[in-house]
């Protein structure tokens, strides 16, 4: 028996990553799969608020068990930017533009400490559950690696000598912010 969940995203990279992590026990559907083409506004000031906005929208409009995540990169030298604006930091939903803006702002800065954070809001029968994950690391001075998406080519997690984009997906998923949050959500399902 598989559990059917809607993942409130239209990002195919995220969808594939999460489906891989959750395994065959779960059938993960995207917004597209349920016929939702709406642009759900992410007007929250925190990852929690944005995740809740997305999951609540799906539950209220479609009545389906669902989850949403909001995640982003926080860079100490930039006062926590891009934070909740990570996906549209440059003003566009364009990974390359956002990544280049970070590299430009970090030019000449020695302190390059950063972290990826992820908050998942899961709605089951109208009851909300939160799961969080984070990974500390460093912002590189240039892109490395061909896999991953978003800021992966410029983020090197602590304890590793490669960017997320240089790692096999299995390794990245085992240590990433989203991987850690999804793991907590899986633990929750295993205990209900």
d(C-alpha 54, C-alpha 40), whole Å: 6
Sign, Cα dihedral of 115, 73, 54, 17: negative
Name the 3-class secondary structure at 114.
Answer: strand
From the candidates 24, 33, 39, 70, give the one annotated as an active-site residue.
Answer: 70
pTM score > 0.95 for this model? Answer: no
In this prediction, residue 34 has a pLDDT band, given cuts at 50, 70 and 90, of very high
Dump pLDDT digits (tens) for 98-146. 999 999 999 999 999 999 999 999 999 999 999 999 999 999 999 999 8
d(C-alpha 69, C-alpha 134), whole Å: 13
d(C-alpha 102, C-alpha 89), whole Å: 9
State yes or no: is 70 an active-site residue: yes
Domains of the chain from N-terminus onward: 3-190 (3.90.950.10)
* DSSP string across 95-110: HHHHHHHHHHHTTT-S
Specify the length of the chain in residues.
Answer: 192
Dump pLDDT digits (tens) for 138-189. 999 999 998 888 999 999 999 999 999 999 988 998 999 999 999 999 999 9
């Amino acid at each position: 028996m598989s559990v059917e969940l809607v993942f409130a995203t239209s990002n195919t990279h995220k969808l594939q990553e999460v489906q891989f992590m959750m395994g065959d026990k779960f059938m993960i559907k995207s917004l597209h799969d349920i016929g939702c083409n709406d642009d759900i506004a992410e007007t929250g000031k925190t990852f929690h608020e944005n995740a809740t906005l997305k999951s609540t929208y799906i539950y209220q409009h479609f009545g389906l068990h669902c989850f949403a995540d909001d995640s982003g990169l926080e860079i100490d030298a930039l006062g926590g930017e891009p934070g909740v604006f990570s996906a549209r930091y440059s003003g566009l939903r364009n990974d390359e533009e956002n990544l280049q803006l970070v590299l430009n702002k970090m030019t000449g800065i020695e302190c390059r400490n950063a972290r990826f954070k992820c908050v998942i809001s899961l709605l089951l029968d109208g009851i909300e559950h939160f799961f969080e994950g984070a990974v500390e690391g460093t912002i590189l001075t240039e892109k490395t690696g061909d896999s991953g998406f978003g800021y992966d080519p410029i983020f090197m997690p602590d304890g590793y000598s490669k960017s997320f984009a240089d790692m096999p997906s299995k390794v990245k998923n085992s240590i990433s912010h989203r991987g850690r949050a999804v793991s907590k959500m899986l633990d929750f399902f295993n205990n209900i």
